[in-house]
Structure 1
C-alpha cells in the first residue's frame, strides 16, 4: 500500500468510523436499531476503499465482504444487550464498539485490496 493509498484509506475508514459511532450512540437504547445504518456505512466504506485500489466493487460484493465480518457483530451485540440500554454509559459503549468494529473491518479490507485479494471469486 502506497503512502497515498494509506492516506486515502485512513480518511475513508475514519469518516466511516465516526459516522458509525454517531449512529450507534444515538440509537443505543434501541437494541439493533442501528444495525441497518451501520451496514450501510460499512458497505459504502468498502466500495470507496475498492476505488482507492482501482477495484470496481458493486453493492452486492460489498455486502458480502461486510457479511463475512458478521462474527464481529456478535460481540458488539452482547455488549449492547448488557449495557446499551443504560443512558450515558450505554451510548458511549455502543459508539465505541461500533467505531472499533468499523475501523477493524476497514483496515482488514484495505489490506486485502492492497495485497490483491480477489473478492470476486
Structure 2
C-alpha cells in the first residue's frame, strides 16, 4: 500500500469507525440491535476501500462481506445490546465496541484488498 492509498484508507476507516461509535452510543438503549444501522456504514466503507485499490464492488457484494463479518460478531453484538441497557456506561461501551469492530473490520478488508492489488503488480 503506497502513502496515498494509506492516507485514503486511514480516512475511510476512521470515518466509518467514528460513525459506528456515534450509532453504537446513540442506540444503546433502543430495543433493537444497532447492527441494522452499522451494516450500511460498513458496506459503504468496504465499497470505498475497494475504490482505493481499484476493486469494483457491487453493493450486494460489499453488503455480503459486511454481513458475514457481522454474523461472526453476533455474540459480541448481543452482549453490547445487553450492556447498552446500562445508562451512560452502556452508551460508552456500546459506542466504543461498535467503533473497535468497524475499525478492525476495515483494516482486515484493507489488508486483503492491498494484497490483491499488489499481486496484480499495481503496488
The TM-score with structure 2 as length reference comes to 0.88
Match of 1:72 in 2: 73
Conserved in 2, the CA contact under 8 Å of 1:24 and 1:95?
Answer: yes
CA shift for structure 1 position 31: 4.2
- Aligned ranges 1:41-120 → 2 under 5 Å: 41-69=41-69, 70-81=71-82, 83-116=83-116
CA contact (8 A) 2:84 2:91 kept: yes
Runs of 4 or more, structure 1, over 3 Å off, are none
Partner of 2:120: none
CA distance in 2, matches of 1:10, 1:91: 25
Structure 2 residues not aligned, in runs of 5+:
118-123
Using structure 1 for the length normalisation, give the TM-score. 0.90
Q: CA RMSD in A?
A: 1.3
Match of 1:85, SS? coil
Deviation of 1:84 (Å): 0.8
Q: What displacement does 1:24 show?
A: 1.0
Q: Which runs of 5+ in 1 are unaligned?
A: none
Distance 2:110 2:32 in 1: 27
